[in-house]
Chains A and B, each alone.
Chain A
């Protein structure tokens, strides 16, 4: 299919037109536009109109959705089937994206950045790993566009295959491992220069956090607690 490279570039801006009403539907239409040129002229306009309706998926996989939908159009699916296909893609692409990327790759790279930082890699650590994360993102987007182009309507069979399920489980475990390594490594690295009262302060905040998260103060969730703790620390630092 022509236009795949342009679709790859466009996929980075899929969330730019996000709204509650259509979620990333308008974005998908933008991502899909170069691929629609593969359709005969008389089918193109109708396909373009359909493309901007309600849709949502993980942004890395928007190219996959675009190419699979256009492939289904080329293969002669009825408008009704295209609508159903688009709707059926929302759940799996969101779920695979959340598990594989947000809960898998993202914490893995974050953990690796922390470990490298604690080894005194300095600025190199975030630069290296943000670069690696972006590179992985391009690879996932490109593989997705090719897979959608290749499989069309039957893309679900590949996405649900035992190989992909296994890959998801491996990435999950790897992310847990990386964070498990990074947290104590960073704590020891930071604590190397600490005085006794610093350690006492950290333990006191951690204990407060545990009490709060166990429901002692129901309205204080971990995010609010963290933000308040960081704010107070900054304030104390400025005052003292």
Chain B
């Protein structure tokens, strides 16, 4: 198993992901999963900038990523998957994709969202969706950086 972490973070690529988790876990490949970014050149240029040269980066749509999850799980590379929204996350975890753990790294203020932690704001629907993922025996915790304590999804209610 070498998907080191599947992270839900609406900022996608930034210091916490690349430096915080990337260095701590010795990540070889970062996969940014977002339908729109996978089609837009200027967005890819911006996000690529945040990735150090020692790390490969892929931009994939949710559908393409779902097809490749098994490959990453079996590969020797250490891979970090980053996705920005709960809806995409649900689609990624559908139909037998091998996901065992989800890290909520940051979801920020937005319409109808309520503060659960200083870095996690969720609508009640988003929270319920995450709960249903947890019911499929996926471990869901919130943790912004490797050095902080993971907070179980139940504590975010």
A180 at the interface (CB under 8 A from B): no
Known interface pairs A21-B115, A54-B108, A84-B36; A92-B11 also in contact (CB < 8 Å):
no
The answer to whether A89 and B115 have CB atoms under 8 Å apart is no
Are B46 and A156 in contact, CB atoms less than 8 angstroms apart?
yes
A150-193: which have CB < 8 Å to B? 153-157, 159-160
66-97 of chain A: CB within 8 A of chain B: 84-85, 87-92, 94-96
User: Chain A contact residues: over half helix, strand or loop, or mixed?
Assistant: helix
Does the CB pair A91–B46 fall under 8 Å?
yes
Residue pair A95, B15 in contact (C-beta under 8 Å): yes
Please give the distance in Å from B144's CB to the nearest CB on chain A.
Answer: 11
A98 and B15 alpha carbons, distance in the complex (Å): 9
Return A140 CB to nearest CB of chain B, in Å.
17
Decide if B10 touches A95 in the complex (CB within 8 Å).
Answer: no
Closest residue of chain B to A95, judged by CB? B50
Neighbouring A residues of B45 by C-beta, 8 Å: 154, 156-157, 160
* CA distance in complex: A157, B115 (Å): 35
Q: Choose one: A21, A90, A157; the contact of B14 (CB below 8 Å).
A: A90
Which A residues lie within 8 Å of B110 (CB)? 54
Closest beta carbon of chain B to A178's beta carbon, Å? 22
**Is B42 in contact with A153, judged by CB distance below 8 angstroms?**
yes
A94 touches B14 (CB 8 A): yes
Interface residue range, chain A: 20 to 34
* B42 touches which of A53, A90, A154 (Cβ 8 Å): A154
The answer to whether B48 has its CB under 8 Å from any CB of chain A is yes
A37 interfacial contact with B, CB 8 Å:
no
Expressed in whole angstroms, the Cα–Cα distance for A240 and B14 within the complex equals 50
Q: Interface size for chain B: under 10, 10 to 19, 20 to 34, or 35 or more residues?
A: 20 to 34
Task: Check: A20 CB closer than 8 A to any chain B CB.
Answer: yes
A110 to B14, CA, bound (A): 27
A22 beta carbon closer than 8 Å to chain B? yes
Indicate with 1 or 0, residue by residue over B27-62, a CB within 8 angstroms of chain A CB atoms. 000000000110010110111111000000000000
Query: Smallest Cβ distance from A89 to chain B, in angstroms?
Result: 7
Interface centre among B10, B46, B47, by most chain A C-beta atoms within 10 angstroms, is B46
Q: Is B118 an interface residue (CB 8 A)?
A: yes
Of residues 1 through 31 on chain B, the ones whose CB sits less than 8 Å from some CB of chain A are 10-15, 18
Q: Which residues of B contact A157 (CB under 8 A)?
A: 42, 45
Q: Would A22 and B48 be within 8 Å (CB), given that A88-B43, A91-B13 are in contact? A: no
Task: Give a binary string over A111-149; 1 marks a CB under 8 Å from any B CB, 0 the rest.
Answer: 000000000000000000000000000000000000000
Contact B11 A91 (CB under 8 A): yes
Q: How far is the CB of A80 from chain B (nearest CB, A)?
A: 9
Given A95-B49, A98-B15, 7 further pairs, Cβ under 8 A: A53-B109, A84-B37, A84-B40, A88-B46, A95-B18, A153-B42, A156-B49
Measured CB to CB, the residues of A under 8 A from B are 20-22, 53-54, 84-85, 87-92, 94-96, 98, 153-157, 159-160
Q: What are 12 A-B interface contacts by the 8 Å CB criterion?
A: A21-B109, A84-B36, A85-B42, A89-B46, A91-B11, A91-B14, A91-B15, A91-B47, A92-B46, A157-B42, A160-B46, A160-B48
Which residues from chain B sit less than 8 Å from chain A, CB to CB?
Answer: 10-15, 18, 36-37, 40, 42-43, 45-50, 108-110, 115, 118-119, 121
**Top 10 A-B pairs ranked by shortest CB distance?**
A156-B46, A156-B45, A91-B14, A91-B50, A92-B49, A160-B49, A88-B46, A20-B118, A91-B13, A54-B108
